[in-house]
Structure 1
């Protein structure tokens, strides 16, 4: 359906009341309570592997990285400088971005004429959703990307209502910031542009302010594009690896869609479904029907591309706001009356569920039973029990290092996977361990050991000897690490070896060792 860009923003059959004000105090209160509530698990979960990688990446200055932009590593490095070893301090930016998404949900409801109740319903829906809990529990690219995407769409909706062109420049600025977080934002912008072209308002695409915003975005992308080009476009290769991991851990595209829905929660799911229904049927929402088209397009892109369920997360605060704002205009409709009747019990049940999850998770590691035999097992274990094993890994490596005569101790540690490398770099400071390198994923692009490096202490999966013996003249296994019911590739099935006499100079050896797949031994 192609709509007239000049379509009125109010329903001609249902005259709108005077425009309500933004419930600033109430929305901020919900946002603050959400932040305080969701900060609880940040004190209880051990570091996630990627969080340790962000800290390590922040210590290796670069204009961009193989798998992400510079913003998250810089923030992680700052947190490590201000509060070394503090997981809650590291995760504070993620909590704040989640709180900001709560405000955006309410702001979208306000833009579409929702009063205080609608704004609060939208804010609460996001605050008690599984998506918000996932977003706040760890520092991640998703933590920032979801909120920045939602901010872009909110500005687009506001432009449709007001036609203030400075908002389009703001979209370009926010997109440029998001590009320094995650390389997925070009896909989102393309989806939104396609939806606007198909559903309107097409006038948007010809505004000079939009193209000024595009210019800002393109200029911000040039350094990263140059880096990717000179390093063989690892971001493109990583997308295929992530797709394969998602299929293995999440069950593939057929399982991804229910997971997307599950991130909404009960209240959020009702509001998102109601938003789709009203966008398709309510005349006053016709100028915003691009959201219906864009949501469908994005779901298809994620499913076809074997993406992760949270790739659609940036649309959810917006859909919650649209659904909440649409409720008061639908009281004559049986569905609208039903939604308002069940709102209170749904909110109560949603709050009870999220409270139970925050209180009971993570479960103590002592309750773990059974080995991890697949990536699905690995994902389930980390969801219920969190990560663990960094201390055992670091202590074991330090013990192996110190058992060597001082004259024979290598000046370099090489870890087979980037989680191991990041853990050893972060926690090895307490043991005075030598510099850590890894050929795995983004860590490999930090570069090889110095060219004159001889012997190295190698930490990797037990059974890696055949590959190591092709790369080194001598390989001696010093010890093993195999914690019962541990994590493969972290504190289970690990061998620590002394590798001497590399068969080639490190600049030649390193490219052959580099691997984008996460070696977990499963």
Structure 2
């Protein structure tokens, strides 16, 4: 669809080399630490396939199920799919650079910038909803830009397919679509809206997204409840950190590149058709500031802007002397080193505490889960033998429940329960389980849970062997009593945050 004869050839060999090295590095490091808490949740969700979950649509859990079924239920096996998604993202962003007329050198620069950026390293190392999201945003940008450049309405079919898959993974794609749509309304070309192919693309997106939307509607729109909680709890902090994080999350050295991308369509008449992309980014940022969304939500849109700004930045470097190039190279080397330290498990887990966790807490959440299950097993053995058959392990959050579900059976632990996120849908425990409650974590005073789970007596405190200061370090394990049957108590115990 659409002519590609005016474009440079795709730099398959240099981009392929970047992708091959990316695959080798990510694969070599994929098992260095352990599962992330979210990965444990996705693995558990994948065991219970559905058209939706409380806090995310189904694509990522389905990918987790497929990856672990093919490659094993280990961190390395799960992360094969994250590596593949990261590789595909690099290729797509390089194709976007080609869409702007970028030749071999520009495409290679764009591929390197994408593969080595902090955000892409993080979401390519571990499986997250963002792992697929960054690829889908990049695909929508590529197909949308091809539509704008060629005027060939058939590209609406590809845009619709990518948007439908995006809605089946994360609803944030609506922000991207609204930003691009407003950009076209403001800057044109309006001819792309005057075609029946647009309706066909919308229809494809609607068909792909319909089961996911229907599931959410039938379950009371829990995804919107979770989003509202994020805004209410973290909205102020998110707004305060939003601008600084835009400068840091991709890489500080790439800030001039994507700023050049924002400016270029307004200076180059030949790229007038790309102005909607330059408009979309500030629109999405404004929407996130109003909604109190997390700063990293807009970062995938920076990658097409890097592709757009690569050529003028490389020209600027080419016009400079050796000093300019040396200083730029030194700054780039420092930023790449920092990105690797932040995004990949290259240091021993015992050295994470301090600046590295302050810049990115996610590596810490990949440490100590087998130890955690061992702590729970030790507390479980404190229950008298005669009472264990009717006892319940109640985890405070989905990461804890996922860890116990994954590592508990080999330690003699039963199926855990948790009222957090979709784990609440997979409960409650049977009412016949009237014995002690092994509570993981503390109950907030004055909450409904405080009236339903009483008499708590601390029997253990978890510490991971690496000494990493993560969310589970120091968690208290208590034996408690349930005051009402589980079926009656469960709706009041349920929580989203």
Q: TM-score, normalised by structure 1?
A: 0.84
Alpha carbons 1:45, 1:386 under 8 Å: kept: no
Kept in 2, the 8 Å contact 1:362–1:386? The answer is no
Selected match of 1:413 from 393, 400, 413: 393
Of 241, 249, 254, the residue aligned with 1:263 is: 249
User: Which stretch of the first structure deviates more once superposed, 438-447 or 456-465?
Assistant: 456-465
Distance in 1 between residues matched to 2:265 and 2:137, nearest whole Å = 20
Mapping of 1:246-395 within 5 angstroms? 246-247=234-235, 251-326=237-312, 337-338=319-320, 342=324, 346-347=328-329, 349-355=331-337, 358=340, 361=345, 363-367=347-351, 380=359, 382-383=361-362, 385-395=364-374
Cα distance in 2 for residues equivalent to 1:446 and 1:377: 36
CA, structure 1 residues 497+215, in 2 after alignment: closer, same or farther (shift >3 Å)? Answer: same
Secondary structure of residue in 2 paired with 1:480 = strand
Gap runs ≥5 in structure 1? 1-8, 10-16, 371-375, 518-522
Deviation at 1:149, TM superposition (A): 0.5
Rounded Cα–Cα distance in structure 2 between residues aligned with 1:29 and 1:415: 45
Q: Deviations over 1:438-463 (max 9, x none)?
A: 11123223332234432353323246
With 475-484 and 109-118 compared, the bigger mean Cα shift is at 475-484
Query: CA 1:486 to 1:113, structure 2 compared with 1: closer, same or farther past 3 Å?
Result: closer
Aligned to 1:112: 100
Residues 412-449 of structure 1: CA distance to partner in whole angstroms, max 9, x if unpaired?
A: 42212221111111111212321111111232233322
Distance 1:143 1:103 in 2: 14
Q: What do residues 81-139 of structure 1 show as CA deviations (whole Å, max 9, x unaligned)?
A: 34444212212222221221211221112112111111111111112211221221211
Matches within 5 A, 1:214-225: 214-225=202-213
Q: For each residue in 1:250-299, what CA deviation from the matched residue of structure 2 results, as whole angstroms up to 9, or x when unmatched? A: x4323221211212324532221111121221111111101111111011
CA–CA distance in 1 between the matches of 2:55 and 2:275? Answer: 33
Rounded Cα–Cα distance in structure 1 between residues aligned with 2:480 and 2:188: 64
Separation of aligned partners in 1, 2:80 and 2:335:
23
1:423 correspondence with 2:411: no
- Secondary structure at the aligned position of 1:437 is classed as coil
Q: Distance in 1 between matches of 2:325 and 2:294?
A: 30
In structure 2, how many angstroms separate the alpha carbons of the residues matched to 1:315 and 1:489?
Answer: 30
Give the paired residue count. Answer: 488
- From 495, 499, 516, give the equivalent of 2:481: 499
Distance 1:406 1:384 in 2: 38
Q: CA RMSD in A?
A: 3.1
In the alignment, the residues of structure 1 paired with residue 23 and residue 322 of structure 2 have an alpha-carbon distance, to the nearest angstrom, of 26
Give the structure 1 partner of residue 192 of structure 2.
204
Partner-residue secondary structure (3-state), 1:496: strand
Once the two structures are TM-superposed, the CA of residue 341 in structure 1 deviates from its matched residue by 8.3
**SS state at 2:437 partner:** strand
Structure 2 gaps, min length 5: none
Preserved CA contact (<8 Å) 1:247 1:306: yes
Structure-2 change in CA distance of 1:340 and 1:367 (3 Å):
closer
